[in-house]
Amino acid sequence: MLFTLSTATAKTHSEERYLSLIPPCDVTQARSFRYREHLPFTRDGLWRIESGYVRTITWDDEGTISALGIWGTGEVVGHQLSTITPYQIECLTPVLVREIPLSDDCTHLLLSHLHQVETLLNVTSIKQTMVRLVKLLEWLAQRFGRLDEQGYLIDIPLTHQCISELIGATRVTVTRSLSELRRTGKIQQLCQHRILLQNFRAV
């Protein structure tokens, strides 16, 4: 069985162009943050990711975390992009970011951000947990995967808990579903919580 991407999750040429553009505006000096640190609030700007991965999260009154997205090099994040409260930007790896002004020059980056939020929302609306998990892995492979001889490596340290918070499932269910995908040869789970999708075909 081949993993395939629907047109809803595939990058368009215009989006790839968006991510390659740098806004022609004054920027601040790059700042580094460690794994699990949170990016601080910026009153009038956004954080552009120079290297590494972050996730945006919120939580309910009982403390249950819901992930709102995962973001990597060339993308922008910031409290200005969400009306959700509470809202945090958490580093999944060591991260280098640069603050940029929120201006018309950032329109292309904002559109790309919006598209990825909508795509993840579409994934999390799928009823069957296994299908939801597979679609999430496809989305991550399409966005961040690196092709090697065996498939697409999702080179982001994603714990089972982190995945469960992305798709709205329990950690136990995610662990069981990943074990089934591994048993049937669909994925390999590597060190540092990385996942290799085998027989994956990006379309």
**pLDDT one digit per residue (tens) for the chain, 203 residues:** 444 444 333 443 434 443 444 344 445 689 999 999 999 998 889 999 999 999 999 999 999 999 999 999 999 999 989 989 999 999 999 999 999 988 756 788 888 888 899 999 999 999 999 999 999 999 999 999 998 888 899 989 999 999 999 999 999 999 999 999 999 999 998 888 889 998 655 43
Element (H, E) at 151: strand 151-154
Q: Are 203 and 5 in contact (CB under 8 A)?
A: yes
Q: Alpha helices, DSSP H only, in the chain? A: 13-20, 107-124, 129-144, 160-167, 171-183
The highest-level CATH class for domain 3-12+116-201 is: mainly alpha
- Tell the CATH superfamily of the 23-105 domain: Jelly Rolls (2.60.120.10)
Within 10 A of 134 (CB to CB), how many other CB atoms are there? 20
Tell me where in the chain the CATH 2.60.120.10 domain(s) lie.
23-105
